A and B are shown apart, each in its own frame.
Chain A
């Protein structure tokens, strides 16, 4: 039974957003007896609601509220109002994610120290490290039921994986397997095993993939300590004369402005909406936006360098049959500057259905060069590149001149590749194509980055207040009862899919917040 809390209840923790960060934090706090009001901009969709049709599902789940773009990234040209492919729903993008759950490599917590100074990059070490995070990763892997951890077997290899694996082995890659996936390879936690249905991006209709929507959120609600308010669009965070936050203004499902009082506010609206909210919460005390004395709110936007490689073969592959992300090569994830760049990248299989392949293979392209590739759709194998991109101060979220339906300025997302990003992407394209060539590809195609799903860094964690927005606990340097709880707190992006780390950080932050409340210091 969901707890109803009064708008005037100033003892609640208000969490903005219910994805991997906010959704997990809400449950973890609720389990510890903390009263939580979670405000979610989207509606609630569960496995029975998910639609296994790419465009129809996109219409159901995607965050399509207007955003604007700038910078030299191709997304700004091809998808100018859609810089991100993320979800607006209870559970956030955990509905859409493919399930890849891998830990940062130890050195990636210390990118500045490991990589040295990189011109044009704003690298910084995280104030936390692998040893400190290890127990939280353990708990996150157990919560998500990650395969190849906790004695859980790996998923079986699909056609797309078998092509990928054979190519990788021909190239001499050693770390090739079907991934550490938050997808049940056997029944676990009351959720069934994967049926290789495809459409992981559209929400798992079996519930085999972990999503906060049907795990942490209902578990939190069952304690009676968590109230989730759907279709609540947050406008502004309020503060008092002492500089502490006191509540949150939001537009409810009927468009009426409401104000929920709060003891603590945790922002987890993703790397676009979280800085947008802080910037839209500017006041006479915080003229540059809330928690922005460093000027870093919105800066250092990272998205993983990404890109895809598709290979076409003489015979059918049927890559779309089975899990979207069916395997990984980790050999290139290491830091090895002899390759011409710092940091590393993962290669992960990927497939798109025909409708999305047409939209994303080479946006804007037409004619036979394009259509002959699609003619070979059945014989295609695909992979996605996930590599560490450099934080740059000029890659940033700012407030656009465009306003949303509520009269709030929308986020403008500016991104241009760093030379390191370009060098890494070219290397990854070559290696990916070589994998497919090694097993007889008749044609390989590099595909530009899709609208971003890994959005990171715009409220980054730093040891010193002048270098970032939040401290080692995700607590704003400037505002003692304000937290950032999503991927925007990432100091650097590492090469790994970010969800597992976001979840681990949320588990850790819940422990911290509950502890501070018990000690009376929150």
Chain B
């Protein structure tokens, strides 16, 4: 609570005491209680009246201060002193609570986003100086002690440690880092001492970019925010006009209607004419939502994207790097040809040992045979083999373009390549439908087995697609540049509804537009990619989601929503969060407008009194604000 709020609180308390005193001596007729009422009123409402007067001088009539002043002074004119004071009192309590709630929310979000590093330990001529991260240059050496926040993006030169990325990714498991690895600002060094060389200036570093994004996110306003500000613009004047009509018309038209009774009803109108309660809870909800989502490693770049996400009907995925890991690796070494020849062995343990030996052997001869090739496939085989290759053992290498390679390894003839090569050489290979690239291997013209190289599907991809369908996504589509066999297999395995294969990067935008035209008017289409080569597609979709934002500037730039980690399972989480936030916003809108209208009707009929009106009004504000706080805890 700041000084201003404290002052207001004290004034409210003093006014309550005075009001109680006045009510207690109210049964004794006389002027003394009126003076106490007035003192109490001025204590609590003095600033409102002052502001109202100032605004009238400036020619602004429909101002909240003015309306409250009229409502309360009006009440006192018709000798409802206690009510006049109480209305002002409750109004001020409501205002104070609003300020308190907004202040608290601003603070809690700032704390949440407190990933700003305070200093950097810079090595200068064998001394270590504490510096503002802003002043550190690219190429400087920095020292990060255990428990400290990494101040700038850098590369580890010396030392190893665990790094806690949770502030950026929501991921609680620390990452292991060592020499030559990149470290990102904003993360916390957990245990080891690291020396690192700065790669980016502070303004360009990960932490500044993320902070800027979250700070700017609530600038882009949601439709509910726009609706409520537009509503507020008309609401107040309309209610005030009704209030005037209510005070004037019935007493003129109906004989039995008394002027003071209808004025009293009209004053209730003025009491609920203030729109602030409505207006405040909506930005508060979205602001809290942005904070809550970023805590989970989901960066939403504007309040409006919560709405688009919540309305998503079709979700389109890129394959490589999004649903799959995007790294070609040896998935399987199957020495079935060698095994078939060794099947006589019955002892299970001996058999298993033999299989492992065969696998090793198959991988080894293939790695040797392919050792002169720089093709990605042969490189991934060599990576899987992992041992030094003595090229002296490889002779007579012959590359057969589009088929594979043939070479002598340790005097044995090794043939490695695709099915076409096996047919060409008349080798009886075992055909099986596999996802990925298959390298068949024959040793001395006898089939030995195959090595399967493929891009691996991420562990949580299938689960992500499943939960998306549960959360109401009607159609899941995959776009890929890969061939049909691979694309279809991956799509089937993950349970995607549709797949479009063999697309060039330019085709993806076209395909997306085709799918977009199928989307119904109110629903939206989301595209999920890695942001590296699909920026145009991300931009074209109603909402573009990029994966693996941490450390990838391209992804952060191109998308509307950034998933900081590489996990597709965060996408259903993002949808769930969006739906919850939109839900809260809608509850607040309908609840606040509903109660206000109810009070207006009851007041017009003369069923309620000023007390109920102001209680209803302040109560709605408080409930709506408390409801919006739920958006923070998601």
State yes or no: do A and B come from one complex.
no
Chain A residues at the B interface, C-beta cutoff of 8 Å: none
Chain B residues at the A interface, C-beta cutoff of 8 Å: none
